[in-house]
Amino acid sequence: MSQPLLLNLQEGMELFGVVKHLSQEKINRFASVSGGTGMIHVDPEFGKKTRFQSTVAHGILLLAYVSEMMKNNFGKPWFTSGDMDIRFVGPAKPGDTLVARGKIQKLNVIQEKTQVSCLVWIENQRREKVVEGNTQLILES
Amino acid sequence: MPPKIGTDWDSWEVGKEIDGAVIVVTKELISHYVQAVEDYDPIFLNPADGEKAGFEGLVAPPSFHAQFTYMKWATGDAGWVPQGSVHVQQKFRFRGIVLEGDHLRTKVILGDKYEKNGRKYIVYKTEVTNQRGELVSLGEMTNILAS
């Protein structure tokens, strides 16, 4: 992260995305690190009996992908002024290829600062959204 | 340990502190988290790269502490909620940088509980501060309880 990816910000500008290939192994690794060992995440037999008919990734893992995208695009200010309001609207399952995407919705300049508001989402290989929401941060001019 | 919400719905008081912990941020914890979320940005791996990017050493991802404020207690055998509960919404306000060596104090309270369309919802609120008492983040997690 030597430099933020986005420069010369404009409303409507698309963010540089983040691609992740999900697997049961990766979900298990996150469960092990985080302690989030709910059966819906780590037990495929349990997952088959749920309405998702599969295990699913942790919401907190998906949130990390959105946060990574924001960090890549905007750099250090994301660490100290980042806001996320995220809804988990679909299951992210082992085997899915997920792409975190976003675009700048509004730029609001107040004195020496710019408030950046973005629409963000994660979609799978069928372009179905599994996450959608809003993010915001403050850039010093 | 507090009773599980799903089995003791009525006794849970909104506003009551559920749990908390102090976590010492180590290079190993950051490294394990980075591997789990696959964000191999050098600033999370090498203190020198962190400093080059304007941080005061090895830095943790902003979402790093989410694992400690929710995951260890939210689900699993020692969890508050029944197996099969679904995380539907999450808010975060990142307000402070987390560096190797920091001591993070996490506080979790039951922010709300309500029923809607026959489903039971619970909302956890979290606050994370560092060893200087500075705010690191605020969070809000909404779950639908498995019936």
CATH code for the domain in which residue A42 is found: 3.10.129.10
d(CA A21, CA B109): 34
Residue A129 within a domain: yes
Nearest 5 degrees, angle CA A120-CA B138-CA A73?
Answer: 35
pLDDT (tens digit, 0 to 9) for every residue of chain A, 141 residues total? 656 777 789 999 999 999 999 999 999 999 988 877 888 899 999 999 988 999 999 999 999 999 999 999 999 999 999 999 999 999 999 999 999 999 999 999 988 899 999 999 999 999 999 999 999 999 987
Answer positive or negative: Cα dihedral of A56, B35, A137, A10: negative
What was the pLDDT predicted at B16? 84
Using an 8 Å CB-CB cutoff, list chain B residues near A64: 37, 39, 61, 63, 66
pLDDT, residue B119, reads 92
Please give the pLDDT value at position B138. Answer: 95
ipTM: 0.92
What is d(CA B2, CA B7) in angstroms, rounded to the nearest whole number? Answer: 11
A49: closest chain B residue by CA? B84
Extract the tokens encoding B19: 């749990």
Q: Other CB atoms closer than 10 Å to residue A2's CB: what's the count?
A: 11
CA distance B24 to B64: 12
Element spanning B66, H or E: helix B66-66
Number of C-beta neighbours around residue B116 at 10 A: 8
DSSP code, position B137: E
The domain ranges of chain B are 5-25+61-144
Task: Count how many domains chain A has.
Answer: 1
Domain contains A2: no
Task: Choose among B38, B73, B88: nearest Cβ to A87.
Answer: B88
Query: Could you tell me if residue A58 is inside a domain?
Result: yes
CA distance A105 to chain B (A): 18
What pLDDT is attached to residue B76? 45
A10, part of any domain: no
Residues of B in contact with A34 (CB under 8 A): 36, 67, 71-72
Q: Report chain B (147 residues): mean pLDDT per 10 consecutive residues.
A: 60 80 91 95 96 95 80 52 81 96 90 93 92 95 85
**For B5-25+61-144, CATH number?**
3.10.129.10
Sorted by sequence, the CB contacts under 8 Å of residue B10 that are 6+ apart come out as none
A108 found inside a domain: yes
| pLDDT score for A55 | 95
Domain hosting A60: range is 18-140
Q: Which amino acid is at A124?
A: N
- What's residue B74's pLDDT? 53
